[in-house]
């Protein structure tokens, strides 16, 4: 093998040594010019090969950004692309504004009191019966109970109407996006919108109710049941005057929240039964808000209350179910329940597919980092090689000639004999 290589070298040694890419026309016999042409050839080959190697390495190792475009992708395709290229994927929407109702459905569970028999007309009729031929005191629960539960029914209906009206407005709100929003981000945004909606609706409702309560107290409006003021008449002069009622140390003239424990009395004013959790006071609504429904979760307590009304009209009523409570407790006051709009639980369903279909993505594009393909490298080198060869052929002979000329001149000057003058 070594012998073969040595023989090949001996055969190519002379042709390689005399190889000339820059021979003149007609060929010159000047040894100086021939030497410059051979040197230019060797420099040309070295620079050309080095440049091509550098270009090949550079185009092979650098990272390039590729952009891929997909027209009208389906939801399945979009989700696949989103999982693989979530950072760079963008999809343009044809429909940039979409009603919330298209992709969102909000459900809610009312406190069971708002769906119970205790806010029906049958229950009101039962409570208004009392006992025949029996004097019922103003403080007696049997006198105020009908109005308490009617007020509770009004609050339930008011909350329902408020939620329904606000939901109509909320559903008509436009979700605006010029490009498809990823499902995770979309769900987080919609959750935030719903939370803001619930918070805003609750605050507006409670603000309105608070304004009404303050107005009633500020104007000292007289309760129809005379629970906040007593009226007295001077029969001699036909003059009527009022006197604020007191409950303990609390006067209805200064506070609408004065209350006392709701109870049932006999005709002589003797206490028969205390209704747990229920209160009476200056105003029906104010006393209701401070009351709770613990007695109505207890079947025996509920039966005890019924025993003080017409026996012939006793209703077969089941107590409220404690196991249905989620947000509240048995002893949660009506005010606490109302502060949450009497809602035990909010639920909503976000249908991302409906949003995507309504958005109607026209196209999706994404980018990724990759290396140049071999075909690109080859075409790039071929394209650059022609220009590089032309430039090198123009520059190298001139540079070599220039350098060779000055080297020759320098040697000539060194070999010149300079005469000396003897002193």
Q: Is residue 1 part of a domain?
A: no
Give every CB contact of residue 139 below 8 A, 6+ residues apart in sequence. 260, 263, 265, 280
Stronger pLDDT, 314 or 199, i.e. the higher one = 199
Residue 397: the pLDDT is 79
The predicted structure's pLDDT at residue 344: 94
- pLDDT number for residue 294: 94
User: What does the DSSP 8-state code read for residue 417?
Assistant: P
Do 334 and 400 lie in one domain? The reply is: no
For residue 212, tell me if it sits in a domain.
yes
Portion of the chain with pLDDT greater than 90, in percent: 43
Mean pLDDT value across the chain: 84
Query: 116 with 92, same domain?
Result: yes
Query: Is the model more confident about 156 or about 379?
Result: 156
- For residue 66, list its beta bridge partners: 368
Q: In 3D, which of 233, 337, 220, 338 has the Cα closest to residue 282?
A: 220
Residue 40 near residue 400, CB atoms below 8 Å:
yes
Q: What is the mean pLDDT of residues 298-324?
A: 84
Percentage of the chain surpassing pLDDT 70?
Answer: 86
Burial class (CB in 10 A: 0-12, 13-18, 19+), 36: buried
**Are 86 and 58 members of one domain?**
no
Q: What is the mean pLDDT of residues 98-103?
A: 94
269 and 194 in a single domain? The answer is yes
Lowest mean pLDDT segment, chosen from 66-80, 252-266, 304-318: 304-318
Count of domains in the chain? Answer: 2
Whether 21 is in a domain gets the answer: yes
Q: How confident is the model at residue 273 (pLDDT cuts 50, 70, 90)?
A: very high
pLDDT at residue 391, as a whole number: 83
Residue 423 has pLDDT above 50, yes or no: no
- The pLDDT score that the predictor gives to residue 90 is 92
Residue 100 CA to residue 169 CA, distance in Å, equals 10
Can you give the residue range of the structural domain that contains 140?
Answer: 75-363
**Do the domain assignments include residue 160?**
yes
Q: Are 210 and 270 contained in the same domain?
A: yes
- Residue 11 inside a domain? The answer is no
Q: Which of 88-102, 163-177, 369-383 has the lowest mean pLDDT?
A: 369-383
Alpha-carbon span 395 to 385, nearest angstrom? 15
Q: Is residue 207 part of a domain?
A: yes
**Higher per-residue confidence, 88 vs 32:** 88
* Span 164-194, pLDDT tens digits: 999 999 999 999 999 999 999 999 999 999 9
Q: What is the mean pLDDT of residues 120-125?
A: 90
Examine the domain organization and report whether 328 and 357 are in the same domain. yes
Query: Do 156 and 278 fall into the same domain?
Result: yes
Please tell me the predicted confidence (pLDDT) of residue 370: 76
Is the predicted pLDDT of residue 311 greater than 60, yes or no? no
Q: Mark whether 46 and 81 lie in a shared domain.
A: no
| pTM score | 0.73
70 part of a folded domain: no
Mean pLDDT confidence for 396-421: 70
The 10s digit of each residue's pLDDT in 136-147 is 677 788 888 999
- C-alpha pair distances (Å), 329 with each of 111, 292, 294: 11, 10, 9
Across 279-283, 369-373, 387-391, least confident range: 369-373
Q: Does residue 90 sit in helix, strand or coil?
A: strand
Lowest mean pLDDT across 133-137, 277-281, 294-298, 404-408: 133-137
pLDDT at 162: 96
Are residues 54 and 108 located together in one domain of the fold? no
Residue 93 domain flag: yes
Give the whole-angstrom CA distance, residue 80 versus residue 91: 13
- The answer on pLDDT for 292 being more than 60 is yes
What is the residue whose two structure tokens read 């105020």? 144
Mean pLDDT, rounded, for 241-253:
84
Between these two residues, 148 and 315, which has the higher pLDDT value? Answer: 148
Residues 224 and 161 in one domain: yes
Confidence category of residue 18, pLDDT binned at 50, 70, 90:
low
Chain mean position to CA 237:
72
In terms of pLDDT, which residue wins out, 134 or 32?
A: 32
Residue 251 has pLDDT above 60, yes or no: yes
Q: Are residues 58 and 185 in the same domain?
A: no
Q: Are residues 313 and 265 in the same domain?
A: yes
Of the candidate ranges 87-101, 140-154, 278-292, 403-417, the one whose mean pLDDT is the lowest: 403-417
Rounded to 10 degrees, what is the CA torsion of 279, 282, 284, 290?
-40
């Amino acid at each position: 093998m070594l012998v073969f290589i040595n023989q090949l070298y001996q055969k190519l040694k002379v042709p390689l040594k005399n190889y000339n890419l820059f021979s003149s026309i007609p060929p010159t016999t000047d040894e100086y010019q021939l030497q410059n042409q051979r040197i230019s050839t060797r420099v040309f080959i070295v620079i050309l090969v080095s440049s091509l190697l550098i270009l090949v390495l550079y185009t092979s190792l650098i990272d390039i950004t590729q952009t891929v475009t997909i027209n009208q992708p389906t939801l399945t395709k979009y989700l696949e692309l989103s999982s693989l290229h979530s950072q760079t994927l963008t999809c343009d929407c044809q429909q940039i504004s979409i009603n919330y109702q298209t992709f969102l459905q909000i459900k809610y569970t009312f406190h069971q009191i708002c769906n119970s028999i205790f806010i029906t007309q049958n229950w009101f009729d039962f409570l208004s019966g009392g006992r025949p031929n029996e004097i019922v005191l103003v403080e007696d629960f049997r006198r105020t109970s009908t109005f308490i539960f009617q007020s509770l029914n009004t609050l339930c209906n008011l909350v329902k109407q408020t939620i329904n009206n606000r939901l109509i407005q909320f559903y008509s709100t436009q979700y605006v996006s010029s490009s498809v929003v990823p499902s995770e981000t979309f769900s987080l945004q919609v959750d935030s919108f719903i939370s803001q909606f619930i918070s805003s609706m609750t605050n507006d409702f409670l603000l309105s109710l608070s304004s009404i309560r303050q107005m009633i107290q500020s104007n000292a409006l007289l309760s129809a049941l005379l629970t906040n003021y007593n009226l007295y008449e001077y029969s001699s002069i036909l003059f009527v005057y009022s006197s604020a009622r007191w409950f303990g140390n609390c006067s209805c003239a200064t506070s609408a929240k004065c209350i006392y424990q709701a109870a049932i009395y006999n005709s002589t004013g003797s206490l028969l039964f205390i209704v747990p959790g229920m209160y009476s006071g200056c105003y029906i609504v104010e006393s209701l808000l401070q009351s709770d429904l613990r007695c109505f979760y207890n079947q025996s307590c509920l039966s005890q209350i019924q025993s003080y009304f017409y026996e012939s009209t006793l209703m077969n009523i089941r107590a409220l179910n404690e196991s249905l409570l989620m947000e509240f407790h048995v002893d949660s006051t009506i005010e606490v329940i109302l502060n949450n709009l009497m809602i035990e639980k909010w639920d909503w369903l976000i249908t991302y597919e409906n949003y995507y279909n309504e958005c109607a993505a026209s196209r999706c594009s994404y980018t990724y980092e990759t290396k140049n393909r071999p075909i690109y490298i080859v075409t790039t080198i071929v394209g650059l090689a022609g220009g590089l060869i032309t430039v090198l052929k123009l520059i190298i002979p001139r540079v070599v000639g220039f350098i060779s000329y000055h080297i020759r001149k320098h040697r000539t000057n060194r070999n010149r004999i300079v005469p000396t003058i003897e002193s």
